[in-house]
Structure 1
C-alpha cells in the first residue's frame, strides 16, 4: 500500500488521468442507459403500432422523409419541432414512436414529452434498423 501511495504522489498526473478516464466511462454508460430507456426495437414498435394505434413521427429532413418513411408516419423535422407544436399536440392520447435515421434522438423525445405527449418512445436504431429488417416503408424509395 505504501508503494501505491508513493507512486500516486510521484505520478499524480497519471493518477488524475486515470480517474478522469474512469469518470468518463461511467458517464458514458449512464448516458447510454438513459438513451435506451424508452427505446423500442422495430418488432416492439410494430406491435405497439398495431395494437395501440401508435403513431410514428419521423424527425429526419424533408428529402429523407419523401424518399422513404415508416407507414403512416407524421413528418416533423427535428430542427422545426417547436414550429410543429400544434400538429404534435393533436397526437395526445396516442403512443408516439419517434425516429431519426439511426436512433439517438433522446432530446427530441424529451421535447415531445415537454409538449404533453405521453408515452413517447424512440425507435432503437432508427429508420436504418427498420429498413435493415425488411419491414414495410412508404415513399419514393
Structure 2
C-alpha cells in the first residue's frame, strides 16, 4: 500500500493503459468489417470477393495477394468507378498493416459500396497465416 501511495502516478498510468487496451479490444470485437486472412480466403472462394491492394506501386511490386486489383489509396476516389460492376460482391481492402485500408473503406463507402471488408493486419498477417503472395506484375 505504501508503494502505491508513493507511486500513485505509475498506478494511474497502468490503470489508464489497461482501460485503453480493453476499450480497443471491445471496439475491434464489435467491428464486423474486419476479416482475418482465413475469413478473407473464404469470402474469395465462396462469394467471389474482389481483393483491392491500396498500397503504392513500390509496395505492390514487393509482393501482393494473388489476383488483387491494385488501386493506390491516393487514386481510389477517382478510380472507384472501375469497381462499380462489383457493387454486389464483397470487396476486401488491404494495405501493409491494415491501418490505411480503414480510410480506404470509408472512401468506398461514400462511393456507395456496402459489402466492404478490411483485411485485419494487412499483408503482414496474410503472410503470417501462410497465405500465398505474388510478385507478378499485372
| TM-score over 0.5 (shorter chain) | yes
Q: Please, which runs of 5 or more residues in structure 1 have no aligned partner?
A: 1-13
Matches within 5 A, 1:93-104: 93-104=88-99
Mapped to 2, the partners of 1:122 and 1:54 lie a distance apart of 12
Paired residue for 1:79? 74
- Structure 2: give runs of 5+ residues left out of the alignment: 1-8
8 Å Cα contact 1:35/1:106 also seen in 2 = no
Cα deviation, 1:15-62, whole Å, max 9, x if unaligned, reads xxx7xx96xx66x93697269711000001000100000010001111
SS at match of 1:81: helix
Contact 2:77 2:108 in 1 (8 A): no
1:124 aligns with 2:110: no
Q: Is the 8 A contact 2:97 2:123 kept in 1?
A: yes
CA offsets, 1:58-108, max 9 Å, x none?
Answer: 011111112211121111111221121211223211100000100123221
Counterpart in the other structure of 1:57: 52
Correspondence list, 1:1-141, <5 A:
29=23, 33=27, 37=31, 38-104=33-99, 105-140=101-136
Question: What is the TM-score of this pair, normalised by structure 2?
Answer: 0.75
8 Å Cα contact 1:89-1:115 kept in structure 2 = no
Structure with larger Rg: 1
Query: How far, CA to CA, are the matches of 1:125 and 1:80 in structure 2?
Result: 22
